[in-house]
Structure 1
Amino acid sequence: MSRWAAKREQLRSLMDDPFFRLGAQDMVGTGLGIAAWGLVTGVAMVKIGLSAPLAIVMSLLVYAGSAQLSVLPLMAVGAPLWVVWLTASCVNLRFVIFSSMWRSYFAHLPRRQRIVLGYFSGDVIFVGFMQRFPEPQPAPGQLAYFWGAASLNWLAWQIPSIFGIVLAEAIPLSWGLGFAGVLALLGVLLSMLNDRASWLATVVACSAAIAAYALPLKLNILVAIAAAVTAGLAAEAAERALRRAQLRQQPEETP
């Protein structure tokens, strides 16, 4: 069997895996929000002055909706490159946390494969994966589930994004796509608020963004991100300390 035939057979076997289908099914609910978000981002990239080929390259290579939407206003106003890079880096800091947690599941895989997994990872994929596999250890079906979720999520983003890029000139701003994008983001965000630390970080981010709105170059975004990360980490640390204290008290309370 040739190398390409073996690859096709491996791909066919992966797609036939029930965990692959389960991962794709879990992403259907958020897929519509992701698609609307991608469409808005595609249109926005062209509206600020990027050429269609460059916008398509950015969509395929960057593949980070929140980072793209965060830096587009900065690019539109001619912000310094360091502000653009810093904003994108701050927005994507959460993936450092995601990667550290996914390490418990995928550390045994080859480095090249883990790099590919990192490219296809996403917020909603992380949430769905952790709900299906709460135990931080390798188990059958995890890789297939990830690829099922990642495949649908990637297609739900890229197809509408490229569609918006190609047809940006034919889509007027009067359609209110910006507001539709905000609604899509809210839908994705609300699906991820499943603990007190997440809610606290969200409230702090909103408050900080409003309080620092007068800062130039959209720097209120950076302020909001820094405040949210600090609040979220502090809340998680407090919860861990409380759980440790409760565990220490349990033996003393046992008769």
Structure 2
Amino acid sequence: MAFIKGQLDMLPLNLAVLPWGLLCGSLAMQNGFSAWETQLMSLLVFAGSAQLVAIELIADHTPLLTLLFTTFIISSRHFLYGLAVRQKVISQPLRWRLPVSFVLTDELFAFSHHRKAYQTKTRLIYALSAGFSFYVAWNIWTLLGILAGQLLPDLTNLGLDFAIATTFIALVVPTIKNKATLACVVITGICAATFKAWGLELWLVLSALSGMTVGYMVSKDSQ
């Protein structure tokens, strides 16, 4: 029952990232990646935002240090996710903790706020079912993107990248429950739009750091 519920609860998000996966697969193909390289990226990296950024940076012949630093900063949020759920899974055997850590994406983390999440075998099965269903869906959408990239014209002109923004908006908005988080979100958005317009190479990293700094300052002032 927990297995089926995990699949059903994650289904809306699985479908929501369809345009995102199509874009990732087709964008990689159109920028010189082979089909195997593109699919292996989704199989091994399994990080949509980091994959898309890395593809664009590689296509632009960005220096390796900038590429590594940017993708590290983007993916570092998963370290924070791990810290956030650590106390809930620390008592579980390693055979449970390892697969949970692999599928702990933004989407699964959004399911992790219940105080009893991951703390029983039933809840672990639920989490892994939801997480791996998202993994399977992501790789299927990537495969469809690979095929689309070979058969159809440039999919980036269809505005599929907007799916990235809408997915994260849906995940972020419910978490805005205090002034510090609101300040972080607003400042990050303003900085992202400004720095991107200025053509700064590290616009995404600088925007995130700016938002987190302001959020931290607001949280300190409110204590």
CA distance 1:41–1:237, change in 2 (3 Å): farther
Amino acid at match of 2:16: G
Which residue is 1:145 aligned to?
126
- Choose which of 26, 32, 38 in structure 1 pairs with 2:15: 32
Cα pair distance change 1:80/1:174, threshold 3 Å: closer
Tell me the SS of whatever aligns to 1:221.
Answer: helix
Matches within 5 A, 1:109-148: 109-111=92-94, 113-130=96-113, 133-135=114-116, 138-148=119-129
Amino acid at match of 1:171: L
Deviation at 1:229, TM superposition (A): 2.9
More divergent stretch after superposition (223-232 vs 22-31): 223-232
**Could you tell me whether the CA contact under 8 Å between 2:188 and 2:208 is conserved in 1?**
yes
When the two chains are superposed, the root-mean-square deviation of aligned CA atoms in Å is 2.3
Task: Write the distance in 1 (CA, Å) between the matches of 2:209 and 2:47.
Answer: 19
Q: Which amino acid aligns with 1:87?
A: T
Matches within 5 A, 1:184-195: 184-192=163-171, 193-194=173-174, 195=176
Distance 1:235 1:97 in 2: 20
Choose 1 or 2 for highest CA Rg.
Answer: 1
In structure 1, how many angstroms separate the alpha carbons of the residues matched to 2:181 and 2:107?
14
Q: 1:141 to 1:113 in 2, by over 3 A?
A: closer
**1:166 aligned partner:** 147
Question: Which residue matches 2:3?
Answer: 20
Superposition pairs for residues 52-201 of structure 1, below 5 Å?
Answer: 52-111=35-94, 113-130=96-113, 133-135=114-116, 138-173=119-154, 176-177=157-158, 179-182=159-162, 184-192=163-171, 193-194=173-174, 195=176, 196=178, 197-201=180-184
- Give a deviation string over 1:49-78, Cα, whole Å, max 9, x none: 111111111111110001111222211110
Deviation at 1:35, TM superposition (A): 1.7
User: Deviation string for 1:35-58 (max 9, x for gaps)?
Assistant: 221111111111111111111111
Distance 1:77 1:99, change over 3 A: same
Letter in 2 for 1:84: L
Task: Confirm or deny: 8 A CA contact 1:129 1:145 kept in the other structure.
Answer: no
Partner SS for 1:88: helix
Identity %: 24
Q: Which moved more, 1:135-144 or 1:26-35?
A: 135-144
Unaligned stretches of 5+ in structure 2? none
Give secondary structure in 2 for the equivalent of 1:129.
coil
Q: Aligned pair in 2 of structure 1 residues 104, 238: CA closer, same or farther (>3 Å)?
A: farther
Q: Which residue of 2 aligns with 1:14?
A: none
Counterpart residue number, 2:203: 220
Which residues of structure 1 form unaligned runs of 5+?
Answer: 1-17, 242-255
Q: Is the 8 A contact 2:118 2:127 kept in 1?
A: no
